[in-house]
A = this chain, B = another copy of it.
Amino acid sequence: MTTRLQNNGQSETKTKLVEAGIRLMRAKGYNATTVDDICGAAGMTKGAFFHYFKSKEDIARSAIESFRDGKSEEFQNAPFRKLEDPLARLHGRVDFVKASVGGPERLTKGCLVGVMAQEVSLTHPELRGLCQQAFARISEEVTRDLALAKDAYAPQTDFDPASVARFYVSIFQGSSMMAKASDTNTVLMDNMEHFRRYLNFLFAPANPASAK
């Protein structure tokens, strides 16, 4: 309980290591990121690393959790969360995501969870579970707003809020991937608008028809 422990009970060194791990794994993925890389980027030595983490998989675990909680908090504190209308909150979220990526040039760093999910799902079951959980958390947040908005504006329209929320997460993840491959953020921004339009359709006063 001395100076080495800060706010949340984590040592500063450990925090720096996790942050470096997140940064590197977001860019290069899990396997291409070495422990030495992480130590170098964090300005620490291997001794420190293995003092806090029992393995590389262990820091990946911490990285996913920290990333998930950080993003979760970021969105929880975002201005759009203060909006009272649930549909407005959904639009606010879309705006927030678009604003977060900045412009078309400045590349998104991508989502750590997305990268990890593809790479380790079949080799590290525990990490796969964490990724799934991280996706679920976002999904649930969006589901809540969707359910409220549906009750308020489109109670008779036939759609499942949870399914639309997973659709949203998929769109975001797929867009991040395309952005990384195409070296521009335009796809991500465009796709957020497509999702917005989908919402507009779902919540249109006189909803034309359900799927096919």
Contacts and interface: CB of A to CB of B under 8 A. Distances in A.
A155 B212 CA distance: 21
Interface in A137-165: 163-164
Contact of A119 (B119, B171, B210): B119
A21 interface: no
Nearest to A181: B117
In the complex, the count of this chain's copies comes to: 2
Contact of A121 (B169, B172, B181): B181
A135 B166 contact: no
A52 interface: no
A164 B197 CA distance: 11
Given A123-B32, A170-B175, A181-B117, A198 B196 contact: no
Contacts of A196: 211-212
A173 B178 contact: yes
A118 B170 contact: no
Interface of A: 27-29, 31-32, 91, 110, 113-115, 117-119, 121-123, 128, 131-132, 135, 163-164, 166-167, 169-175, 177-178, 180-183, 187, 190-191, 193-194, 196-198, 200-201, 204, 206, 208-212
6 contacts: A31-B31, A31-B32, A113-B181, A117-B178, A128-B180, A164-B194
Given A193-B212, A198-B201, A200-B211, 7 more contacts: A28-B123, A118-B118, A118-B177, A132-B183, A169-B174, A177-B177, A197-B210
